[in-house]
Structure 1
Amino acid sequence: MIEAVTYRQGIYKSNFVRKVALWLDAQAHPPIAIEIAPDRISGARFTRTGSLDGFAVEALPPGAIVPSAVETNIVNAAAVRTAMDGVCERLRAKSEVAALLLPDTVIRVFVQHFEQFPRSAKEAVPMLRWKLKKSVPFEVDETLISYMRQA
């Protein structure tokens, strides 16, 4: 499989143009990533260059987190808070932006097609809730909806 970097080296003859293209394609990544799993909370801190700056793992007691898209996920809030506090303290994370990784069973992803889609979130979110209402086995009004426009 050809990676994007290798592919672009053939397209862009100029090293400068190649670097600008890679820079434009790069998305800003938070310096911290935290994973919540049924048996642990783990985290990593990265430097600006992408090197690992630190990591932490805190075990959770059995049953503290039960991943589900329709039921309560955090069963033992005190244990989860203690583990999260421990990970954040060891990563020196106070009020920084972090990427949050959740179990697959917690998240639902849908691809919806629209003839016209509102430009403002104020109009888009109610439309998405209405469209999803018959497609999900839980109360749509109690969910967090995020979306990304394509094309």
Structure 2
Amino acid sequence: MSVLTSLRDSSGPTVAVEFAAHQVSAASLEFRGHKPCVAAHAVEPLVDGALVPSLTTHNAHNRAAVVAALGRVLERTGRPRRIGVVVPDLVAKVSLVRFEQVPARAADLDQLVRWQVRKTAPFAIEDAQVSYVPGQRAQDGQEFIVSLARRDVVEEYESLCAEAGAHAGIVDLATFNVVNVVLAGSAPSMVDWLLVNVAPDYASIA
């Protein structure tokens, strides 16, 4: 589930926080009718080296500075207890996998996905948090978009939020949420398109 999808659900968090190497930012949404509107937003810079996004090792090198910045943006967005969290793309490895036949049971599909991505995972699959969503369906099989991250790195971001007094109900990637925003604001398109998300320390193509 994406942060944007959750924000559409009245039971989900209405505040999203994005962590980046240079800043922590937050936005609070409210719905006026069926239209989402930004109710509040805040940005706090981080000192160099406080947060270094990485796929293979811990990210927060100065926890106190990150938690302090997070606390300030939460204060300016209503002190929410539940939030959606957006992390840098560098935290996860995203792959496209295709299966000619898809198992009927969810547990079997989960095992098949894990078996497929373990071949290129930069760490033990047993230490990974894996999520996936169906992509295109073609005559030669079903495609899946698979995200792979170290479980302890995801838990690190969750613990930063907990230390600042908020529960991270959802953790998602930056570019996925840029795509979600584009799709939410556009009519369905049948033509091919390309999105390039450029951040100060990386660029992603979707």
Count of aligned pairs between the two proteins: 124
Shift of residue 115, structure 1, vs aligned partner = 2.2
Q: What's the % identity of the aligned pairs?
A: 31
For CA contacts below 8 A with separation 6 or more, give which structure has more relative contact order: 2
Alpha-carbon distance between aligned partners in 1 of 2:133 and 2:18, rounded to the nearest angstrom:
23
* Residue 48 (structure 2) aligns with: 62
AA at the equivalent of 1:145: V
* Residue 44 (structure 1) aligns with: 27
Shift of residue 121, structure 1, vs aligned partner = 4.0
Alpha-carbon distance between aligned partners in 2 of 1:121 and 1:59, rounded to the nearest angstrom:
42
Shift of residue 147, structure 1, vs aligned partner = 0.7
Alpha-carbon distance between aligned partners in 2 of 1:124 and 1:81, rounded to the nearest angstrom:
37
Match of 1:104 among 62, 84, 89: 89
After the TM superposition, list the runs of 4 or more consecutive aligned residues in structure 1 that deviate by more than 6 angstroms.
Answer: none
Could you tell me which runs of 5 or more consecutive residues in structure 2 were left unpaired when the two chains were aligned.
8-13, 138-206
Alpha-carbon distance between aligned partners in 1 of 2:121 and 2:98, rounded to the nearest angstrom:
17
- Verify the 8 A CA contact 1:57 1:87 in the aligned structure 2: yes
- Verify the 8 A CA contact 2:45 2:69 in the aligned structure 1: yes
AA at the equivalent of 1:45: S
CA distance 1:54–1:138, change in 2 (3 Å):
same
Q: Which has the larger radius of gyration?
A: 1
Could you tell me which runs of 5 or more consecutive residues in structure 1 were left unpaired when the two chains were aligned.
1-26
* Residue 3 (structure 1) aligns with: none
Alpha-carbon distance between aligned partners in 2 of 1:124 and 1:94, rounded to the nearest angstrom:
36
User: Do structure 1's residue 145 and structure 2's residue 133 form an aligned pair?
Assistant: no
- Verify the 8 A CA contact 1:129 1:141 in the aligned structure 2: no
Alpha-carbon distance between aligned partners in 1 of 2:63 and 2:110, rounded to the nearest angstrom:
29
- Verify the 8 A CA contact 2:15 2:80 in the aligned structure 1: no
Shift of residue 97, structure 1, vs aligned partner = 4.5
* TM-score (normalised: structure 1): 0.70
CA distance 1:129–1:93, change in 2 (3 Å):
farther
Aligned-residue RMSD, C-alpha? 2.1
* TM-score (normalised: structure 2): 0.53
Alpha-carbon distance between aligned partners in 2 of 1:38 and 1:120, rounded to the nearest angstrom:
39
Shift of residue 53, structure 1, vs aligned partner = 0.8
Shift of residue 86, structure 1, vs aligned partner = 2.0
Specify which structure has the higher proportion of helix: 1
Specify which structure has the higher proportion of strand: 2
